[in-house]
Amino acid sequence: MGRQPCCDKVGLKKGPWTAEEDQKLIAFILNNGHCCWRAVPKLAGLLRCGKSCRLRWTNYLRPDLKRGVLSDSEEQLIIELHSYLGNRWSKIASHLPGRTDNEIKNYWNTHIKKKLKRIGIDPVTHRPITDQVPDTNPPGESNNTFLRASNTEEYLAPKLDLNSHNTNEKLRTFNNDNDAKEASTRSNDSEVTEEEKSIDSMTEAAQLSVPGGYGFDPRVELLATAEPQNFENFAATSPCFDFLNGNAMLFQQQGSPLLRVPDEECLLEFSEDIIGCANAQEGESSDQLIKDEFSVNSCLSSFNYSGETQAPICSSATEMQWTHDMLVTGSILPAPETDMQASLWQEQPEDAFPGWDGDILHHGINVANCCFSNPFTKKKENLGQIKLQR
């Protein structure tokens, strides 16, 4: 039996709030805060249930709310986040200051969904609607790297142009190619072992290359010698970028940890709030390592682990200690209080990443511009700014 609705009590008002009610609620919360929403209506002199008060406050009356239509960049960010997180509106909202989950949800349902459909992209899977391979996993857990990974040619400027037929064409072509590869490698799927599937996935991911969105190009190892204050060295060796906004995800490391990846064919992508597994032991699945308030939703190539789903196996534990805040798409995330150690991908030979040719074009106190040799285009290209947050 379900719980009784809190507003079923006789005498409690429902429906749209009046200006007078708003004023009462605002005045009360500004003066007293809200220790207990259930008590708020009584104390504020409102004939509403606490839940209704909370909703009205968080979605409408809060002074830090940003009103008005969402900007293009906000819309881009919502699409990107949704491809990782699915309908986790509150999570998405947490990346857009001044916006509420309700507002984003409404905007998604009334605007973005239609826009995506119009250009031939399934708003659920974020993949082109035509020739879709059935994917029963919800976004955030599925192998939804296709959208993000599709615009290889736009490696350095991967914003999804929703008005661009060209982008859509790229998506379609790309997907068809990969579907064909999948079909050929899995012609008799029942005979394919899990291990083989993993390898296929890795190969496939390699073909996807580094996508737009929150990106961390693991083809480049984080060198051991980067000191927290040595931004120049750090920036040159830590190409952790938010491809969507041109910001960097800032990793700070201390001591002599290494972050390596299985081989040059693999990708590691961080999304959501980034980062970290802790205290990896050899052979340990990293989903056992995710801790604390750091919501981890990253994927190694197409293993796609998001905390509760599959995780790559750490076969050689290296460690990286977070010592500073991290900057992620404009959000400052707190470093863990304790010594959290992040991990850890399989070590490979030093020459695993021949494409890397990191360089600093300009280095300032808070910003560093970087370039590197794009292994796909073979050109040396500007990667944009890394914003450093001390």
Smallest distance, DNA to C-beta of residue 95, A: 12
Smallest distance, DNA to C-beta of residue 370, A: 35
Among 26, 87, 206, 330, binds DNA (CB under 7 A): 87
Residue 109 sits in the site that holds DNA (CB under 7 A): yes
Residue 59 sits in the site that holds DNA (CB under 7 A): yes
In the chain, the DSSP E strands lie at 214-216, 240-242, 247-248, 268-271, 284-285, 297-300, 313-314, 320-321, 326-328, 331-333, 341-342, 359-363, 367-373, 380-387
Residue 345 sits in the site that holds DNA (CB under 7 A): no
* Binding pattern for the stretch 259-278 against DNA, x by CB under 7 A and - elsewhere: --------------------
CA separation, residue 269 to residues 51, 80, 84, 311 (Å): 38, 13, 10, 13
CA distance 155 to 366: 24
Smallest distance, DNA to C-beta of residue 137, A: 14
Burial class (CB in 10 A: 0-12, 13-18, 19+), 355: middle
Q: In this complex, which beta carbon is closest to DNA, that of residue 55 or of residue 162?
A: 55
Q: In this complex, which beta carbon is closest to DNA, that of residue 39 or of residue 180?
A: 39
Per the DSSP assignment, residues forming a β-bridge with 282 are: none
Among 106, 130, 256, 281, binds DNA (CB under 7 A): 106
CA distance 340 to 319: 9
Q: In this complex, which beta carbon is closest to DNA, that of residue 89 or of residue 353?
A: 89
Alpha-carbon radius of gyration of the chain: 23
**Contact criterion met (CB below 8 Å) for 313 and 289:** no
Smallest distance, DNA to C-beta of residue 34, A: 7
Residue 88 sits in the site that holds DNA (CB under 7 A): yes
In 295-379, the DSSP E strands lie at 297-300, 313-314, 320-321, 326-328, 331-333, 341-342, 359-363, 367-373
Residue 168 φ/ψ, nearest 5 degrees: -65, -40
Among 24, 29, 41, 56, binds DNA (CB under 7 A): 56
Among 74, 75, 103, 273, binds DNA (CB under 7 A): 103
Residue 217 sits in the site that holds DNA (CB under 7 A): no
Residue 107 sits in the site that holds DNA (CB under 7 A): yes
Contact residues: DNA, CB under 7 A: 2-3, 5, 7, 13-17, 34, 36-38, 48, 50-52, 54-56, 59-60, 87-91, 101-103, 105-107, 109-111
